[in-house]
Amino acid sequence: MARRELKQDPVLDTTAWLRGLPKAELHLHLEGTVKPETLVELSRRHEASPLTLEDARGLYRYENFLGFLTAFKAVTERLKTPEDYELITYNMIRELAGQGVVHAEVYVSFGIIFYWKKTDVEPYVEAIERGRERGEKDFGTTVLWIVDAVRHFGVEEGARVFRKAAELRKRYPSIVGIGIGGDEARGPADQFRDLYKEARDAGLRLTAHAGESVGPESIWSAINIGAERIGHALAAQHDPELLEILAQKQIPLEINVTSNIKTGCCKAFDEHPVKDYFESGLMVTLNSDDPPMFGSDLLGEYCLAESCYGFTLEQMRELAANAVEASFLDPTRKLALLQKVEQYVGPMPA
Ligand SMILES: [Zn+2]
């Protein structure tokens, strides 16, 4: 593919350049994309004395992991009706498009709906599909869904979630894959081996959060049950043999730098292995996880990679291409997006 030369311009506005770079987001939780403004709107729908914008912003300013969980709970508690899910889907796509994100693969937690809300997921899927279709039409960013089970709710809950995903996939082809999130220590990936095989046989793609809060063994397990992409993979840095396998097999890593710092899984920005991974030839992609809750977004993560880790703009282009390559898009759209990334020169003059 012909690649345009990137001119080194001393007055280049890096943020504008990175905003214009066609980016794909592969690790984003629908429930984690709700901004304070939308939380206020949800609160107005459901509460006699709704949250003010100041209250909502306050919830997103926290000091520790418990504060993050409180914020996440404040959101999920107020996601009550299918219409709420339609609203957050549409708003998410608007936000993504504003950052120059052309495609996103978004985790939606059937686990939360089944387990906490104890209700059928189908009306919720219809609703996020309405939001997706409207959002794609208005803003141009495409979205595929990855149905996420909460691993520490157990294998039986996982089976319900994945079988529902397989069933709904027949009607909604935008449901493209499955994953496991939640507490790695209480829900080892090995337990999900048979379910992953079953999901694969049903045509679903496989991902897993692994090596975020526990050691490299969790990543080994995820690979061994067939995960095609690894969410976080922070702990791989402690296992040279694993790093070799990840490089050799080019298993895409969904890296979430700011998330790892804010949850305390990584102590400091200069201790994060993102640049080492990249330089060791691993298939690195940048992602934002639960952006407003971590005070970041995908554009912010790209800016951080440039300013904090010294990625050059050509390397940023490579990261963007990696994300498209690692996506579950069909080959035609993948190729079209890869061409856009390769030929990108910079933002249009205002
Ligand atoms: Zn995640």
Measuring CA to CA, which residue among 333, 18, 276, 327 is closest to residue 145?
327
Domain tally, the chain: 1
Q: How far is the CA of 29 from the centre of ligand 1 (A)?
A: 6
In 3D space, the residue among 158, 250, 147, 297 whose CA is nearest the CA of residue 207 turns out to be 147
**Ligand 1 centroid – CA 341 distance (Å):** 25
pLDDT in tens, 13-51: 999 999 999 999 999 999 999 999 999 999 999 999 999
Domain of residue 69 covers: 14-343
Residue 8 counted as domain residue: no
Which residues are CB-contacts of 28 (< 8 A; sequence separation ≥ 6)? 92, 104, 105, 106, 107, 287, 288, 289, 290, 291, 298
Q: Give a yes or no: residue 348 inside a domain.
A: no
Which strands, in side-by-side order, build the sheet including 101-109? 23-29, 101-109, 142-150, 175-181, 205-210, 229-232, 253-255, 284-286
Give the global pTM: 0.94
* Gyration radius (Cα) of the chain, Å: 19
Q: Looking at residue 180, which CATH number applies to its domain?
A: 3.20.20.140
Residues 228, 251 contacting (CB under 8 angstroms): yes
Give a yes or no: residue 5 inside a domain. no
For residues 296-309, b (16+ Cβ closer than 10 Å) or e, as one string? bbbbbbbbbbbeeb
Distance 27 CA to ligand 1 centre (A): 6
Ligand 1 centre distance from Cα of residue 92 (Å): 16
Q: Write out the two tokens for 259.
A: 């998330």
98 within a domain of the structure (yes/no): yes
What stretch of H or E contains 261? helix 257-262
CA of 230 to the centre of ligand 1 (A): 10
Place of tokens 């052309």: 102
Do the domain assignments include residue 112?
A: yes
- CA dist 169 and 325 (Å) reads 22
Close Cβ partners of 30 (under 8 Å, ≥ 6 residues apart): 85, 88, 89, 92, 106, 107, 108, 109, 128
The yes-or-no verdict on residue 249 having pLDDT over 90 is yes
The per-residue pLDDT for range 275-330, each reduced to its tens digit, is: 999 999 999 999 999 999 999 999 999 999 999 999 999 999 999 999 999 999 99
Q: Is residue 325 part of a domain?
A: yes
Assigned domain for 7 exists: no
Give the model confidence (pLDDT) of 258-288 as tens digits: 999 998 899 999 999 999 999 999 999 999 9
Calculate the alpha carbon distances from 124 to 82, 128, 279, 323 in Å: 5, 6, 42, 28
Q: For residue 179, how far is its CA from the centre of ligand 1 (angstroms)?
A: 10
Amino acid at 310: G
Q: Which residues are catalytic?
A: 212
Ramachandran angles phi, psi of 172, nearest 5°: -125, 90
CA atoms within 13 A on the CB side of 9: 12
